[in-house]
Structures are given as C-alpha cells and as structure tokens.
Amino acid sequence: MGNFGKWWVVARREWQVAFQAPLAWVLLALWMFMGGRFFVGSLLGSRSTDLTPVFWNLAVLLIFIAPLLTMRLLAEERRNGSDELILTAPVSTGQWVLGKYIGVLFVWTMFAVVSLLFPLATSRFGAVQWGVVASSWLGMWLFGAATLSMGLFASSLTSNQVVAAMLSFAVVLLFYGSTWVPGHGLVGQLMTYISLPSQFNNFTLGLVSVSHLIYLVSLCVGFLFLAVRVVDLRRWT
C-alpha cells in the first residue's frame, strides 16, 4: 500500500466514524438552522440576491463548529491510548495526522456542499452572481479548512476533548480577532494580514487572490505540521 493508501484508509475511517455518530449531524442541523435564518433574513432585508452576508455568517459559525468537529480527533486517541498503536502500525505520524485531517475535511466539505442550497434557492427569485458565489464558497471552505487544522492541532495537545475544544476555540479566535487589538505600523499590518476575516473578505467580493490562497493554505500546512510534531514529540519523549 503506497503512501496515498495509508492516509486514505485513516481518512475514510474518520469520515465514516463521524457520520455514524450523531454529533456531526447535530452540528450540521444547527449550522443549517442558523444559516437558514441568516439566509431568509438577508433575502427579506436586502431584497437582493447578494449572498455575501450569508457566507460571512456561515464562516463565523465555524469558530464554534470547528472546535467541536475536531476536539475528538487526536484527544480521544490519546485518552484511549490507541495512539500508541500507531507505533506498530505501518503508517507514519504524518500520514496518520493527515488522514485524520482529510477525514474531518470531508465532513466539512459535506457541510459546505449542503450550504449551496442557499444560492440554488436564491436563483429562483432573481439573478445570482455565480462567480461571486463560487469565490465566496471557496473562501468559506478554505476558512473552514484553516480552522479545522487549528482544531486538529489543539486536539493534539491534550487528552481531554473539552479542553481541546476550548483550546481550539481560543486559537481560532486569535486568528479571527487579531485586528480587534489596535495596532499601528508593522504590527497593525501584521495583525491585519493574519486576520482570517481580512483574508476571507476578498473571496466574498468575488476576488480570488493568489496571496490569500497562499495564506490560508499556509495556515493549514503550518498547523498540521505542528500537530504532527506534537504527536511525534509526545511519542518519543
């Protein structure tokens, strides 16, 4: 079995486990309930097919949903001691963590796909800017991918799922609200740059920038790398 097969097995198992448990469905129900309220409110309020506020609110909800989706991933394995089995399994830590991440990414992708019901329904009542919908959706998906990687990293730090969720929430909030702290000059620019909303904003306008893609993918890579190092460090110390 090649490298692809190894992490794929982990990912597939993670995805199946997620949907065999009620949590993912409950989160999807809450997400769509809140999204539905925003959606109807937006249509009635603005009388416009512009779904920018809806995608914004869906992304903001991820601050709360991503920690709950990821809290179990590595913390539960550690609590059960099943992570020790990785030592003897023919899979590297990187493949294992990547598999976990891809698994939860599938779950999130399903959430995101369901959210396309909003623009589809809107198109019945007026002209939809599908290009803007596509870029907003891509931005939201990347926003989710980044927050999930933060959650996975938080889950690698502890064996307690509740603590993992709180840590994850804190990390996501740090990147979400970096501009809440007033900063000038280079610090201000840095805070704006690392801010998830400022990176997400252009997507909702219909602009897909190479720089924003690079940043969000970098976040994913960075936190996945940290998660791998934490698991490795714990295993060998």
Partner 1 sequence: MADMDEGTPNDQEQNTGESAAQPTGPRKPGGLRGALASRGMRWGTATAVYVGVVAAALIGVNLVGAHIPTQWDLTFNHNLTLSAASRNIAAKVTHPVHIIAFERPGGTTGAKVSALLQQYQTASHGKITYQVVDPAANAALAVRYHIKSYDTVVLQSGSHTQTVSGSSLTTYSSSGQPQFNGEQPITNALLQLASPTQMTVDFLAGNGEPNTAGGQLPDAVLALKNQGYKVGALNLLTSHGVPSSVSALVVVDPTQDLPTSSVSALKKYAAGGGHLVFLLDPSTKNLKNLTGMLAGWGVKPQNDLVVDPSHSSQSPVFIVPKYGSSPITAPLQQANYATLLLGAQGLTLGKAPKGYTVTPVLTTYGGGSSSNPTSFGITNLSKLQTTGLHYTKGQDIPGPLTVAATVAGPSGKAQFRAVVIGNAGFIASAAPGQTQAPINIQGNRDLFLNSVGWATGRSQGITIRPRPSLNTQVFLTSGSTSALVDTFVLGVPLVCFLLAAGAWWTRRRL
Q: Least distance (Å) from partner 1 to the CB of residue 122?
A: 7
Give me the least distance between CB of 74 and partner 1, in Å please.
15
CB neighbour list of residue 167: distance below 8 Å, 6 or more residues apart: 154, 157, 158
Residue 225 within binding range of partner 1, rule CB under 8 A: yes
**Site residues (CB under 8 A) for partner 1, limited to 139-178:** none
Cβ at position 187, least distance to partner 1 in Å: 12
Q: Total residues at the site for partner 1 (CB under 8 A)? A: 80
Q: Could you give the 3-state DSSP secondary structure of residue 195?
A: coil
Residue type at 91 in one-letter notation: V
Which residue in 14, 67, 95, 145 binds partner 1 (CB under 8 A)?
Answer: 95
Phi, psi (5° rounding) for residue 128? -105, 135
Cβ 169 to partner 1 shortest distance, Å: 20
Binder among 62, 73, 97, 105 for partner 1 (CB under 8 A): 97
End-to-end CA distance of the chain: give it in Å, rounded: 29
CB of 106 to partner 1, least distance (A): 16
Q: Is 29 in the site for partner 1 (CB under 8 A)?
A: yes
Number of neighbours of residue 236 by Cβ within 10 angstroms = 8
CB 166 within 8 A of CB 75: no
Q: Name the minimum Å distance from CB 72 to partner 1.
A: 14
Q: Which is nearer to partner 1, 81 or 210 (CB)?
A: 210
Of the candidate residues 63, 65, 94, 161, the single one contacting partner 1 (CB under 8 A): 94
Q: Specify the stretch interacting with partner 1 by CB under 8 A; choose among 13-21, 70-78, 150-158, 159-167.
A: 13-21
Give, as ranges, the residues between 173 and 202 that touch partner 1 (CB under 8 A).
Answer: 179, 182, 184, 193, 197-198, 201-202
**Is 125 a residue that touches partner 1 (CB under 8 A)?**
yes
Residues 148-160: b if buried by 16+ CB within 10 A, e if exposed: bbbbbbbbbbbbb
* Alpha-carbon distances, residue 225 vs 78, 95, 98, 101, 108 (angstroms): 18, 11, 9, 11, 20
**Cα radius of gyration (the chain):** 19
